[in-house]
Amino acid sequence: NLDEMVTLILYAVFIISCVILTLILSLWIKGRIYETGVLLSLGISKTDIMLQYICELMIIAILAFGLSFLSGKAISQSLGDRMMAQIQQQQENSQTSNSISISGNSIRAGLNNEVDEITELDVSVDVQELLVVYITGTAMIILSVLLSSAAVLRLKPKEILSKMS
C-alpha cells in the first residue's frame, strides 16, 4: 500500500514539475522571441533552435544535478541521524512505560522486547538511482522545452518580426 502511494506521489510530482517548468520556459522563450525570429530569418532550422534551448537548460541541469548529488548525501544523512535519535527516544519511552510501579515495587509488564534495536542509519545513493533521477530530469527538460517553444516556433520569421515592431 505504501509503495503504491509513494509511486503515485512520484508521478504526481513529475507531472506538476513538468507543468511548472513549462510555464517558466514559456515566459523565458517569449522573452527571446525576437532572437528566435532573427535566427529563423537567417535560415537556422527550428530543430536547431530547440536543441539550443535544450543545451542551455542541460548546462544548468548538469550543475544542479552535481550540486544535488554533493549536498544530497549530507542532508539525507543529517535527516537520518535525527530520525534515529527520535526512534531511540521513543524506544526508551516505551520501555519505561512497560514498567508499572505498585507500592514502590517495580513490576515488569509481561511484554517481551526482544526486537533488534537499530543503532545506526547509513544513507547512501546508488548509481542506478542517480541515473534514474538524471534521466527523469532530462526527459522533463526536453518535454518542457518542446511544449513551451511550440507556440513560438509555429510562427514564420516574418510573423515574429512583424509582431515585434
DSSP letters for 15-83: HHHHHHHHHHHHHHHHHTHHHHHHHHHTT--HHHHHHHHHHHHHHHHHHHHHHHHHHHHHHHHHHHHHH
Partners of 105 in the beta sheet?
A: 102
What's the whole-model pTM score? 0.68
Print pLDDT tens along the chain (165 aa): 778 898 899 899 989 999 999 999 999 998 888 888 889 889 999 999 999 999 999 999 999 988 888 887 788 888 888 888 888 888 777 766 655 444 444 444 444 455 556 667 677 777 788 888 889 999 999 999 999 988 888 888 888 888 776
Give the position of cell 539525507. 76
Give the position of cell 504526481. 12
Cβ neighbours of residue 150 closer than 8 Å, sequence gap 6 or more: none
CB–CB of 58/138 below 8 Å? yes
